Structure 1
Amino acid sequence: MPSVKVVFGAHAIGDPADPLTGFATPEAAQSALNICRKHGCTIIDSARGHPPHVPHTSEPLLGQTDVATWATIDSKVDSVYPGDHSADRIAASIDAILKDLNVPSVNVLYLHIPDRSVPLKETLQALDTAHKAGKFKELGISNYEPDEVLDILHLCRTNNYLPPTVYQGQYNAIVRSITPTLLPILRAHNIRLYAWSPGCAGFFHRGARHRHTSNSRIGQALSSIYSKPSFTHALENFHAAADRAGGVEGHEVALRWLRFHSELSGEAGDGIVFGARTEAQVEGSLTALEKGPLSEELVAAVERCFEEVKGDVPYFNPFRDDEKAWARS
C-alpha cells in the first residue's frame, strides 16, 4: 500500500527580516534541502508569497540551489491582494515563479488563497492557458471553501479547462473539520489532499502555551487557535499519557498521528506538508515521520485531547471569507 507523501514546505527560506525565516542564504537553504534528499523527501512546496512577511524572497534562494535536479517543485501564485487572480497578474506571477526558481516549469501550481474580487472563470482560463504553454503540470487549489471547490470543478468541466487534482488545506490532530465538510468532495473527484500545519503549530510540544506570543501576524493567528485557556487541561492530560507511554515527544506524536491514523490516504495520493526553521527541525520531523504508527495508548491520548478541545477548535479554513487583513498588514 502506498504511503502518505511527505512534502517539505519551504516557507522558512527567505529574507531574514521575516521573523519566521530560518534559512536566509542559498547555502543555508541547500543544507536544509540536503537533509530532505537524504530522507527521500523529494517534493518541495514553495510559493510566490513566501516567506509571509517578506514575500518574493524564498524562490530566488531556492533557484540558487540544486533542488530542481532531484526534486519536484510545487508553487503558488500571488494571492493576497484583490486582483491578484486576474488574467494578467496570474501570467506575470507564473513567469516570476519560473524565473526565480530557474526552472522551465513546476509540478503543481496552486491558487494560494481565494481572490474573490476576480471571477473564477477568468482565473481558471488564465491557468489553463499557462498549462497549455507547458508552465506547470497539475493545478492545485488551497484554502477554498467546499462550495467554491464545486464551482471550480463545474467551470473546468463546462469550459474544458484543466481541473484541480490537489487541494492543500489545514488538517491535523486538532483541526479536523475538513474531513466532514470537504474531504468527501475531494474523494468524489479524485483530488488528493495535502495537509498543512501537521504539527498543530507545536500545540503538543511541552511549553506550547508560550509558543505563539510573537508580535508577528502569523504568530497571532496561530495563538488564536492553539493558546485558548480551555486547551491547557487537555494538554496536561496528553503529556501525562505520553510520559506513561515512554515519553514520546508531542510534536512527533502529532506528525505520526496524521500520517498513520488520520483520514489521509496513501492510495489516494495524499500528503503532509511540514515546515521547519532549523536543520534540526527538518531532521527531527523527517525522522519522526519514518517511525511508523503510534501505540494504541498514544492514539487514545490524542483522541481524548481532541474530544476535550473540539468545541473551541476553529474551522479548518482561515480564508473562508474576504477578511485577509492579517495577511496584508
Structure 2
Amino acid sequence: MDYTTLGRSGLRVSRVCLGTMNFGSDPQAPTPEPEARRIIDAFLDAGHNFIDTADTYRGGTSEEVVGRAIAHRRAEVVLATKGAAPQGDGPNNRGLSRAHLTRALEDSLRRLGTDYIDLYQCHVPDPDTPAEETMAALDDFVRSGKVRYLGCSNFTAAGIITAQWAAQRTSGTPFISLQANYSLIMRAIEAEIIPACRQYGLGILAYSPLGSGLLAGRYQRGTAPTEGSRLAQWAAMPSPMARAFVSGLLAEQHFDIADEVAAVAAELKTTAPTVALAWLSDQPAITSVIVGPRSTEQLAANLASLAFNLPEPVSARLNATSRCTVTPPVNGQHNAA
C-alpha cells in the first residue's frame, strides 16, 4: 500500500481518500447505511486509511454512519471532518468564529462517536471572522486533544497565507492540508493555490476528480442535466453562485476536454473515469484523491482506476488539451474557465 505524509507533518495517509457525502442513515440517501458500511469495510480491508466527512453531509447523518462503521476499527482510520457551514438559523450557527467552531466540533465528536478527530478542517472561508480568532480556537482544539491536525477547504491562496501567518503570530497550530476542486476541467488551482500550498506546507486533497460527473460522460453537450442529477439540483437552487457554477461547468471547452478523455479511453480500451482518475493521481502536487463511490462496485472501479498507469504521451496530450482551463491571475484573482 502506498502511503504519504500529509503536508508538513508526520501524519501518513493513503493516496486515496474515501469521501462520504452520499452516505446517510435514511433509506433515501444515495448510499444507505448498510451499503455505506460495506464500502468502508472494503476500503479499509484494501489497506487504505483515510476517510473524509463533514457536519453538513446528509444533515449530519454521514458522520453518524461513518462513526458507527469505524467504531471497531478506529485506530486504523485517519478520520477527517469539517466545520463552518450553517447549522441552524441563528447568526452564530455558521462560520469560523470560536463560538460556532466550538459547538460544531462537539457536535461532530458526538455524531462520530469518538473522542478525537485526526484532521479537523475549515469547510469554507469566513471573511467576517479574523484569522487570528479562527486559528487560536483551532489551536485550543489541538491542545485539548480533541483534534490532532488542522486543514482547510476551498481557501484561496491569500486565505491560506493569511491563516498560516495568523497561526505563526499566535504560536499556534498551522494547517497541513487543503481540500480543492481539481480535475482535468478544473485546473485553476495550478496558478496560485498549489504554489502557496508548497510554500506553506499544505498537502492537497483533490475532490470532484471527475468534474462532477462530466468527465464520466454523465452530461451531454447542449442538453440540460437530467432531472434528479446533482447538477440539476444545483441549477434549481436560489443561489446565484450555484447556478453560475453549473453554467461554468457545462462550458463548451469542458465538453471538448471530456470528448478527448473519452477518445483516449477508447484507444487504451478502458473507461473515461479511469483516464480522468489516473491523470489526477499522477499529478505531483496531489497528496490524496477523494473518491465518492455509491456502491462497493464503484469503489472497486475507483481503486483500479487510480492504480492505472497512463502512458507519458497520453498524459502530455491530456495536459495540452486541458491547459486552457487555467488563465493568468487578474488583479490578484485566478479564473477557472
**SS in structure 2 opposite 1:58?**
helix
2:9 alignment counterpart: none
Distance in 2, Cα, partners of 1:6 & 1:40: 10
Moved over 6 A (4+): none
1:200 paired to 2:217: no
1:44 offset after TM fit, Å? 0.3
Distance in 2, Cα, partners of 1:17 & 1:2: 34
> Please, which of 107, 110, 122 is the counterpart of residue 118 of structure 2?
107
1:61 alignment counterpart: 65
Q: Which runs of 5+ in 2 are unaligned?
A: 5-13, 237-241, 328-332
1:219-238 alignment runs, 5 A limit: 223-238=246-261
1:294 alignment counterpart: 310
1:43 paired to 2:29: no
Moved more, 222-231 or 122-131: 222-231
1:212 offset after TM fit, Å? 4.1
**SS in structure 1 opposite 2:124?**
coil
Distance in 2, Cα, partners of 1:218 & 1:151: 33
Q: Check conservation: 2:261, 2:275, Cα contact below 8 A.
A: no
Superposition TM-score, scaled by structure 1 size: 0.82
**SS in structure 1 opposite 2:121?**
strand
1:259 alignment counterpart: 281
Q: Which runs of 5+ in 1 are unaligned?
A: 318-329
Distance in 1, Cα, partners of 2:193 & 2:257: 27
For residues 124-179 of structure 1, the C-alpha deviation after alignment (integer angstroms, 9 at most, x for no partner) is 22111111110111010111111111111111111111111111111122211112
1:223 offset after TM fit, Å? 3.3
1:130 alignment counterpart: 141
Report the AA paired with residue 211 of structure 2.
C
Q: Check conservation: 1:212, 1:223, Cα contact below 8 A.
A: no
Superposition TM-score, scaled by structure 2 size: 0.80
For residues 60-111 of structure 1, the C-alpha deviation after alignment (integer angstroms, 9 at most, x for no partner) is 1122213524212111113247642221221111111111111110111000
Q: Check conservation: 1:175, 1:316, Cα contact below 8 A.
A: no
Is the alpha carbon distance of 1:92 and 1:161 closer, same or farther for their aligned partners in structure 2, counting shifts above 3 Å?
same
Is the alpha carbon distance of 1:103 and 1:238 closer, same or farther for their aligned partners in structure 2, counting shifts above 3 Å?
closer
1:247 alignment counterpart: 269
**SS in structure 1 opposite 2:56?**
coil
Q: Check conservation: 2:125, 2:159, Cα contact below 8 A.
A: no
Is the alpha carbon distance of 1:298 and 1:225 closer, same or farther for their aligned partners in structure 2, counting shifts above 3 Å?
farther
1:271 alignment counterpart: 288
1:17 offset after TM fit, Å? 7.9
1:115 offset after TM fit, Å? 1.8
Relative contact order (alpha carbons < 8 A, sep ≥ 6): 1 or 2 greater? 1
- Structure with greater strand share of residues: 2
Q: Check conservation: 2:124, 2:154, Cα contact below 8 A.
A: yes
Q: Check conservation: 2:194, 2:285, Cα contact below 8 A.
A: no
Is the alpha carbon distance of 1:294 and 1:89 closer, same or farther for their aligned partners in structure 2, counting shifts above 3 Å?
same
